[in-house]
Amino acid sequence: MTAAPARTLPRRRRPVAVFACAALLLLLVPASASAHAVLETSTPSFGAVVQREPGHLTLAYDEDVVPSLAQVSVLTPRGRDLAGAPRVSGSTVTVPLRPGPKGSYTVRWRMVAADDGHVTEGAFSFGVDAQPVAPTPVGGVGIPLAPEVLAWLQFVGIVLVGGTLVFRALITVPAGRALGRSGGGEERIAIGLAAIGAVVALHAAFFAFLVGAYPVVGSGVGDFIDAEIIPIRLSTHSGQAFTYSSFAWIAALSLIVAAWAYPRRREQLLAAAGALSLAIAFGLSWAGHPAVGGTLVLIADYAHLLAAALWVGGLVALIALVASARSRPSPEREALFRACLLRFSALAPGLVLVLAAAGVYVAIGELPSVSALLTSHYGILLVAKVAAFAVAIALAAYHRFHVVPRVAAGASLAGVRRTLANEVLVLAAALALAAILSQTAPPLPT
């Protein structure tokens, strides 16, 4: 008796299945991976027994915290809070204490990291002439959205708007003019992809801000309208990036809609929307860890992101062109795709070089040692991301040295869309790992 042959997904459904699996993997990432502003030491220390009540409490964190959002309570055995207003100096928080009785004291704190706005909180106990009792856990309600998913969606938006529209301005439009053609339906596809990307990125940025601000506000959605969120928007890099990117995405979407409504200015408007969305990408670098690594690390991270957006966006635009040429065959459409493929293949090696060089520079700035690549969660994720990009570079080399010469010689376009889609899917996985990395704290120097 022979086993029944295994059923496989149709080719058209395979990309959908891959994206669904990537999204599920992102959703499974634990929220603890994004912990920042870790409490390193305190005076009195954890579990300490002191002979007399201290006049103040000192908390030392591993990075600077936002002074206006620092929250500390010191509770007596009967629940009375003895803490005064905390004083913040960089990464050190000093809290004056009122006199209290002997017994076990519970310290609860909540801090917002000054670099990326991530919230951390914790509790510990110390005793005054008595053994401390472990603090009881406090339950809470969070927003059930993984920040990694939202970061990935923002990457996707930048690719679909910035990557595809800049590709159109630099490659598709000049190639079309060289062939003596104007329009042909490709602009409708470009407008559709860009509009989807802008809407997705705008909503992802909004929800990412809510996910970061919710632990600070700690209440219902109505409190986000209150002025409590103003310090988050002004005092943290993530809040500043959200404010900047929100207005910029609305402007980019307006340009895309205007391009649809005014055909005579279409290409100029689409090019402006693409350039604006690439500028928005700086907000992702500003809201992440590279912002505290120095100006050069910040610039390198931005260059790394730009190169990735242009690479992936160019591939998506090529897939749209070859799909159009295959669905409605015509010599003009095929000629346009061949011309765009040749132009992009000349540009791609430079993008890969910038991507690799900038990525290496950022990694050197983030990792305290080479051994951290294999001994830290951040390092292992970085190795996985590099491996994904290496596979994508191998596929790009296959296109450059095997597919492009055949297409230039007039070979059939059959199979080109599939190989391009495979490269995009690998890069999408690399961007997913990059999104996880953006929410993961780099290891501390030992």
Question: Considering the entire predicted model, what is its pTM?
Answer: 0.69
Residue 406: pLDDT above 60? yes
- Per-residue pLDDT band for 77 (boundaries 50, 70, 90) equals confident
* Cα–Cα dist 265/431, whole Å: 33
Are 43 and 74 a contacting pair, CB within 8 Å? Answer: no
Q: What is the 3-state secondary structure (H, E, C) of 20-48?
A: HHHHHHHHCCCHHHHCCCCEEEEECCCCC
Instruction: Give the pLDDT confidence of 196-218 residue by residue, as tens digits.
Output: 999 999 999 888 887 766 655 55
Closest CA to 175 of 328, 167, 260: 167
Look at residue 213 in the predicted model and tell me its pLDDT.
65
Residue 33: pLDDT above 90? no
Look at residue 64 in the predicted model and tell me its pLDDT.
87
Look at residue 180 in the predicted model and tell me its pLDDT.
75
Q: Which of 27-41, 54-68, 86-100, 241-255 has the lowest mean pLDDT?
A: 27-41
Look at residue 328 in the predicted model and tell me its pLDDT.
66
Q: Which of 125-134, 230-239, 266-275, 329-338 has the lowest mean pLDDT?
A: 230-239
Q: Helix 147-158 crosses helix 14-27 at what angle (to 10 degrees)?
A: 140
Residues 6+ apart with CB under 8 A from 248: 276, 277, 279, 280, 283
> Residue range 400-404: average pLDDT?
87
The CA-based angle 99-103-105, given to 5 degrees, is: 70
Are 423 and 392 a contacting pair, CB within 8 Å? Answer: yes
Look at residue 226 in the predicted model and tell me its pLDDT.
43
